[in-house]
Amino acid sequence: MRAAVIQFPGSNCDRDMAVAFDRVSGNNTPTQMVWHKDDHLPDGLDVIGIPGGFSFGDYLRCGAIAARSPIVQSVVEFAKRGGYVIGVCNGFQVLTESGLLPGVLMRNAGIKFVCKDLDLIVKTTDSAFTNRYSVDQKITVPVAHHDGNYTADATTLKQLHSEDRIAFAYAKNPNGSMDDIAGILSENRRVLGMMPHPERLNDPELGGTDGAGLFESITEALISA
Amino acid sequence: MKAKVHITLKAGVLDPQGAAVRRSLGSLGFDGVEKVRQGKVIELDLVETDRATAEATVKSMCEKLLANTVIENYSVEIL
């Protein structure tokens, strides 16, 4: 598996995501780190990770400035060609701001930054990111965000439900997110955005491995493709 | 030429920050505030000297970056 992680000024989960990709991709193809000012993506990529953090200081709106950087335009083209893209936390915000995923992540309903381990419910296994889980499986994954309150218009929400595009929901809603949404898929099911951090619970020494299934799912999808 | 952009949340979009400001005003004794909506003002200094062109350009900036039209409205004032 050939993976890349995009780095912006203010990204802070980029190394964690690279380690998570490396654990499943083998030693021969280390994850490539791509700086936001690079003008093109490495050749032959299977998957791109957009990491958590506070790109460009969260100025204007979370993810807004990163979403307009030239490298993200290349990521959009990659996704439109059918490439796999996962955006976590700030990465999810970048994906909604770029238009790859619908809706917007607003300020948490309780105003406060939320940082804790939470139970997520796997809502679909029909994606390259969730095929190793089972429907309604509960997994524990940490969240750490100030703007995770997923908001979309009624038509979009209805569409997400009817097209089975809600990947993860919170067992107990931490941020006011509509319909307890924690993560959603694009129309072609190849782009996933989620607020919780699967890359942070990916090794027993970090306290758990519930996030590992997500990265193993990607390799599974690539093998069977 | 100067431009001022006002960005506000669309009607019906919940504004947790505005709600917190309203509660804080209440705790300071400012009763009778039924609702607070928080927005942004962005001021731009432009090289452009033609009003109509400036307005069209700033509107395009709003569509592409300054506002997220999923949840926000904007208005442009050319000064």
Q: What is the pLDDT of residue B67?
A: 97
Q: What's the predicted TM-score (pTM) here?
A: 0.94
Contacts of B20 in chain A (CB under 8 A): 111
- Contact yes or no for A213/A138 (Cβ under 8 A): no
Break chain A down into helix, strand, coil percent, rounded to 5: 30, 25, 40
**pLDDT tens string for chain B (79 positions)?**
999 999 999 998 989 889 999 999 999 999 999 999 999 999 999 999 999 999 999 999 999 999 999 999 999 999 9
Interface of B to A at Cβ within 8 Å reads: 13-14, 16-17, 20, 64-66, 68, 70-71
Mean pLDDT for A185-200 is 98
Q: What is the percent of chain A with per-residue pLDDT over 90, rounded to a whole number?
A: 93
Could B68 and A97 be called an inter-chain contact, meaning their C-beta atoms sit closer than 8 Å?
Answer: yes
CB A202 within 8 A of CB A211: yes
Separation between Cα atoms, residue A152 and residue B27, nearest integer Å: 32
Q: Which of A61-70, A104-113, B10-19 has the lowest mean pLDDT?
A: B10-19
- pLDDT, tens digit, 9 for 90 and up, residues A18-40: 999 999 987 789 999 999 999 89
* Full DSSP string of chain B: -EEEEEEEEPTT---HHHHHHHHHHHHTT-TT-------EEEEEE-S---HHHHHHHHHHHIIIII--TTTEEEEEEE-
β-pair partners for A122:
A168
- Tell me what pLDDT residue A206 has: 87
Instruction: Tell me the CA end-to-end span of chain B in Å, nearest whole number.
Output: 7
- d(Cα A206, Cα B57) in Å, to the nearest integer? 50
Are B16 and A103 an interchain contact pair (Cβ–Cβ within 8 Å)?
no
